[in-house]
Structure 1
């Protein structure tokens, strides 16, 4: 289950000493055992703190997950969670604008890979990874903006970042070939009024309407210690790390009770098939996107969803690649996977891109025909998909911080399941998926009444007028 990752020390999990046991487990179809150890405490102000120790490299990671994403936004206020992610880097009471990155980079961190923030439908996170002797700096910076951001916020900063986000939307959605497909897929799979109906980046109109008061209220509601989890990981001394955490985060007051989330409940299937043709002047070739409503990431069947997407559309060993690229040669690229939505329902999407100048109807027919037969998988297909997901998950755990690293997975477990030990159950849950589980989910959900088809079509080329030679 990706939980929005399309993508270890662990006592040298795959070191020589473990090699023999790993081989036995692989032959039995089971994952090698791994464990990410941690300790946890909760401060009086409600901040949940998780500590994970790894002395293999002199690096420490600080990561904060706030339990707020676009699903918490109100009608007419879409894009606020993502806009606020940008505002968090505009300075706080004791940190000037642009200084968050500057101070961390001067201390040895790398902007982007080690220092960043991301927003999705279900959460917003901020992370730093830097030399372990700079841990106190990272904790102070995160605490300062959690506790004092509003003291440095003004209209000029809001106006500036609103335009930055608008430009980001232009680049990644409006002016990007095929860029609107996730937004259109959400709108079709989730009814109007549902928290997943709109995309994370929000609409231009709502971004333009955002006022300073709106942003301040959003911060006061969601950016409080009792609505967050802090992970301190890596080459740390836990008693010292606890002193730093209590020193900087302890004085921040508890926030108000977070408003109840709107109902996420949905019927298991959409109930009717939908098909939309999108004329996109920027696309070089036709492309088909086929989406289905499936169980969400918190559901016990989430590992089945992940493996189903992998079997059908994951890489060059998948069914779609073999059928559409290798044998029929009607596509140049295929893919498949879930969005990773946590509550109510998720979206499982399969894609195929045709050749420039090819017929989109033929591509659509071929893709739908392959999906229609996707309910009789083999054990070999399941084993391949399981091995692929095992590798992707464990490979992410090689890092302490950043997206998909150990700190991130610990925060993910607490935010979605109130259990940091979630990280230690993922491989086990993949192992428990049977061929019957895979076939049953495909038979139940990959049906026309639960299907959204988006056909992206490039503009027709007009014939150039004949050139007249001037004597």
Structure 2
């Protein structure tokens, strides 16, 4: 569950279907059939007597269904003084209802092999599940029960528990993160007090403390009626049966109070408002935010195109002038739109090595805008937009969830589920004159909120002295606790709602049919031919990756991949990006873990041209000195910034504790500040010549092309040459005689990032590692696991806690991870160890075995839906040299393994005496409680790897 702080963007979220509409039935609305074969999502829509809008979309490509219930209520519907309540309420919707026990919603969906979540933004709250097709009735029963009978189960204890969970979420995602307050501060300055967007979705802590359980009940009665909801169901459904279930479970629910559609509320500023935020950052940030229009306003599309021209990647003016010019590590422009208002954002992360204050960066931004005005809109600017529209539209076919979400959002906000064709048309209709007009109307000479985020104690780096301070909040007297009437409309049913529906026959799920081949000169090739979408997803992997970095030069493989994304011998960086954008294709090099990889995505019709560009990038990199210096500097500055991230600090410490400083695997993929200083351009060229070879390469492809067509397209690789190579041996790993705690000081942190780790087994598909993963599922592998329910739901120490066995080709480890409240850090660690100990001593219960067994076997329906998931399956086959029947063998193990074997595995693999504790938090605030753990405590400096005893 999360507060969705992102904005709705119609075009990029659109998912489409090149099919005729389902047959229309009397009294219903169906999507129109386009006789010319146009692009749209087929659906049926109807409304129940209580006002619930129902949308059905049939897609039989995979044996799964996606259910989305969207309520037209977000933080914009909240009262002043009660911010964060919509998101808080989202959490409460998972705490049980009249016929669903506390946490049962998670358990039912997980045990059914499904996935679930909810999200809240300013304008809506939605709840969604993806499950095997035979589990649909269960989902509808669950959603109807909390829509109609939530208040029967709400009490003060649950209310207090989830209030703490929401506070933990805010601390983890906002208060304990660099730049975390950026959006909140901007909204306070951009919108007048009382405007629904003037506070953040997650809300203020003091407001969360102000409300009580009666406020929650009143909120539910006001906004959660079926007449303010859209139920959207998509996937492998039987239309008639689905309608009958919808009527059975939702039809008798009483309608709620009438809800009016909110009117747009765009704003203007009478002057520039300058804000300065001192934060734990290394990279100063400049953000300029102009108010514009509102979602689906005629000027939204031209403003989106303007944003792409100014700051949409390597073809943009911001990239050329700020990033490539060296004054910024990152620079982007965006135009996020919401129901009531839109914002035009210009954002740049300054490079401290080149920029001494943000006023200099702001001057470069102003010069870039002047350059755009003088240059105007070029033909390729619009061609890129149209290419990206075409590609994003077709790629939207790849998941049922994407199509269902689009139908739900469009119906909620615009009363028309299928707006795909309209969106494509309005973006393709944008002209150069439109773009220049909106620039002059909304950006040129207009007032904005100019936010400077600077390192603590360096307010002088801001663009200008702050001239805006948020006035004291005016909280209405009536914003205190409300009275609540227990009167609820009665529901009369002809069936027993307390009974969980039985699942239908389990769908037959088979692993994707794939073909095997080789491409000269002996490159292994696996492929899946699927005609679901006219797209190609390809991954070229070269084994070795960062493990092949020269001694003392960690980061060489990572920097080499970065350089492969730059200029080639025949294309500048910008020219290459421009050609790919016009095709709607992507080619991206990356080095992570054991592999250097190339990811390629393309529409099938543009696959030949995309392969031509891949050939150029793979065989003809330019390796220009200026690109190398810029990327190396950018990487170093980013590393400096990461040292302010508590999660990064904890992971650095975790890897050092597990593998020791002598091994490459203990260092980040991108290297360290010290190792980057040792890398020269000659090292990059040497790494490319030695290791970008076909000797240990393999390729996976998922497309609608045949094996022969793919092989013909990849024939250019026959000229690829290079010698084989070996991997360096690991040095010795640290051995521990007892549990110790390694503390990474993060002054001022409000939470502690905690890892509890021990080395373990490498990956295997059917051996002890796999069986240990099954064993861990009830302990910390699911939302309903023992560790998470204890720390999150019972104690309120964290937003979430989990455990897992992590395994690669040669190394593995066990870890428990949680972001704990600062004051509860030691108590949280004690509870984790207590849960592990109880798990070993008491053993795994039969109920937990059943829960694990169902979750692992029934989830197969979701495993292979998209080309990305199919490609992941193929990569795993190649990486671990798995047999064709490995999945069938896993299923057999899951069905046969029992509680006794799982308990024995827990006692064997979960030796707490070998587990080490890592804490990234505020040493000054933590030491008094940490000493109560009665273990040796060392302070660890992750930059120098020096440890200092603290007790």
TM-score, normalised to structure 1, is 0.87
Partner secondary structure for residue 246 of structure 1: helix
Give the 5 Å matches for 1:12-411.
Answer: 33-110=38-115, 115-258=116-259, 261=262, 264-267=264-267, 269-280=268-279, 282-326=280-324, 328-343=325-340, 345-356=341-352, 358-359=355-356, 360-375=358-373, 376-401=376-401, 405-411=402-408
Unpaired runs of at least 5, structure 1: 14-31, 462-471
- For 2:229 and 2:204, the matched residues in 1 are separated by 26
Give the 5 Å matches for 1:427-446.
Answer: 427-446=424-443
Equivalent residue pairs, number: 431
Q: Is residue 61–residue 127 contact of structure 1 (8 Å, CA) maintained in 2?
A: yes
- For 1:78 and 1:259, the matched residues in 2 are separated by 20
- For 1:431 and 1:347, the matched residues in 2 are separated by 22
1:65-91 alpha-carbon deviations (Å, 9 max, x no partner): 101011111111111111111111111
Q: Is residue 289–residue 449 contact of structure 2 (8 Å, CA) maintained in 1?
A: yes
Q: Is residue 78–residue 201 contact of structure 1 (8 Å, CA) maintained in 2?
A: yes
Give the 5 Å matches for 1:443-458.
Answer: 443-458=440-455
Moved more, 4-13 or 286-295: 4-13
Q: Mark the CA change 1:213 to 1:406 in structure 2 (over 3 Å): closer, same or farther.
A: same
Deviation of 1:292 after TM superposition, in Å, equals 0.7
Partner secondary structure for residue 123 of structure 2: coil
- For 1:391 and 1:11, the matched residues in 2 are separated by 14
Q: Is residue 10–residue 35 contact of structure 1 (8 Å, CA) maintained in 2?
A: yes
Q: Mark the CA change 1:81 to 1:455 in structure 2 (over 3 Å): closer, same or farther.
A: same
The root-mean-square deviation of aligned C-alpha atoms, in Å, is 2.2
Are positions 1:420 and 2:425 aligned together?
A: no
Which residue does 1:10 correspond to in 2? 17
Partner secondary structure for residue 231 of structure 2: strand
- For 1:447 and 1:223, the matched residues in 2 are separated by 43
- For 2:372 and 2:290, the matched residues in 1 are separated by 13
Deviation of 1:373 after TM superposition, in Å, equals 4.0
Deviation of 1:435 after TM superposition, in Å, equals 1.1
Deviation of 1:315 after TM superposition, in Å, equals 1.9
Q: Is residue 266–residue 292 contact of structure 2 (8 Å, CA) maintained in 1?
A: no
Q: Mark the CA change 1:141 to 1:309 in structure 2 (over 3 Å): closer, same or farther.
A: same
Partner secondary structure for residue 332 of structure 1: strand
- For 1:183 and 1:393, the matched residues in 2 are separated by 32
Q: Is residue 173–residue 180 contact of structure 1 (8 Å, CA) maintained in 2?
A: yes
Q: Is residue 298–residue 416 contact of structure 1 (8 Å, CA) maintained in 2?
A: no
- For 1:395 and 1:458, the matched residues in 2 are separated by 41
- For 2:261 and 2:416, the matched residues in 1 are separated by 21
- For 1:448 and 1:171, the matched residues in 2 are separated by 38
Q: Is residue 340–residue 347 contact of structure 1 (8 Å, CA) maintained in 2?
A: yes
- For 1:276 and 1:389, the matched residues in 2 are separated by 36
Q: Is residue 87–residue 201 contact of structure 2 (8 Å, CA) maintained in 1?
A: yes
1:156-184 alpha-carbon deviations (Å, 9 max, x no partner): 11111111111211222222111111112
Q: Is residue 274–residue 451 contact of structure 1 (8 Å, CA) maintained in 2?
A: yes
Deviation of 1:208 after TM superposition, in Å, equals 0.6
TM-score, normalised to structure 2, is 0.44
Q: Which has the higher contact order (CA 8 A, sep 6+)?
A: 1
- For 1:306 and 1:372, the matched residues in 2 are separated by 19
Partner secondary structure for residue 86 of structure 1: helix
Q: Mark the CA change 1:12 to 1:43 in structure 2 (over 3 Å): closer, same or farther.
A: closer
Partner secondary structure for residue 292 of structure 1: strand
Dislocated runs of 4+, deviation >4 Å: 4-9
